Amino acid sequence: MKAFPIHFKHPTTGLIVEHLGMDLRDYFASVALPMVMDEFAKEDATEMDYLLTAGIAYDYADAMMKAREVKNV
């Protein structure tokens, strides 16, 4: 599922153009990331800390995707 799908008619060819945008899961993760960073960020963070933080943001995104299925959104 895409976060910001756009459909429009090309002005010169008249063909319908579809720009699908980013994945909804990626969008949810990007929205969750600042909150996760506030909670887990530290001054001496390592690359592994960053990977874990990103993973947690995707855990939140997965939960949001599941919630959409349950609510039939």
> Which residue in 18, 46, 62 sits closest to 5, CA to CA?
18
Q: What is the pLDDT of residues 11-65, one digit of tens each?
A: 889 888 887 788 999 999 999 999 888 877 778 888 888 899 999 999 999 999 9
C-alpha span between 70 and 65 (Å, rounded):
9
pLDDT of residue 73: 62
**Which positions ≥6 away from 36 have C-beta within 8 Å?**
53, 56, 57, 60
Say which residue the tokens 């855990």 belong to: 59
pLDDT of residue 42: 76
Contact 18, 5 (CB under 8 A): yes
